[in-house]
Amino acid sequence: MSTIGYSSWAVDLAEVGAIYPFQGSEVVMTIVAVVLWLAWHVVEIRGENAQLERLSDKSRVTDDDRRRSIERY
């Protein structure tokens, strides 16, 4: 029993193809990975929205602070 389909390398390599674990679950793995990718964008945009809202609060810093930021170049 082996997750990759081979439990020994006593084989003719000309007849060996895929050797990754859990062959047959490729479509499921793809669906999971695509969902994770899309979720990443959602989480990132939510986090960025919150950060930009925080930074856009005019009362947070004084005009002097802003000038200092600009002078940092």
Partner 1 sequence: MGNNLDAITTIFTEFYYWVTVVFMFLIHVGFCVYEVGASRRRNHMHTLMKNTMLIPLVTVTFFFFGWWIYWAFPNGPFIYKGLGLDFAAGAGNAPWSETMATNLSDRITGVFWAAFLLFSWTAASIVSGAVMERIRSGAFWIHAVLIGSVFWIIDASWGWHYDGWMVKLLGYHDAYASGVIHAIAGGYALGVLVVLGPRIGKFAMDGTPRDIPPHNPWFVTIGLFLIYTGFWGFYAACNVPLISPEGIGGQITGETWTATNIYLAPTSLGAITLNFLMSLSGGLMMAYIVSKGDAFWTYSGGLAGIITASAGNDLYHPIQAMLIGGVGAYCAYKLHFWVEKRFKIDDAVGAVAVHGYAGFIGLVIAGFVLWGAPSSPYEGYVAVNPLGQFLGAIIMFFVLGFLPAFIVSKILHGAGLLRIPPLVELEGLDYEEQHEYELALKEVMEAESASVGK
Please tell me whether residue 68 adopts helix, strand or coil conformation.
Answer: helix
Residue type, 40: W
Q: Which of 1, 2, 13, 64 binds partner 1 (CB under 8 A)?
A: 13
Under the binding rule (CB under 8 A), the answer on residue 23 touching partner 1 is yes
Q: How far is it, in rounded angstroms, from Cα 23 to Cα 34?
A: 18
State the first-to-last Cα distance of the chain, in angstroms, to the nearest integer.
Answer: 63
- Residue 33 found at the interface with partner 1 (CB under 8 A): yes
Q: Pattern of binders to partner 1 over 40-59, x per CB under 8 A? A: xx--xx--x--xx--xx-x-
Comparison of 10 and 72: residue with beta carbon closer to partner 1: 72
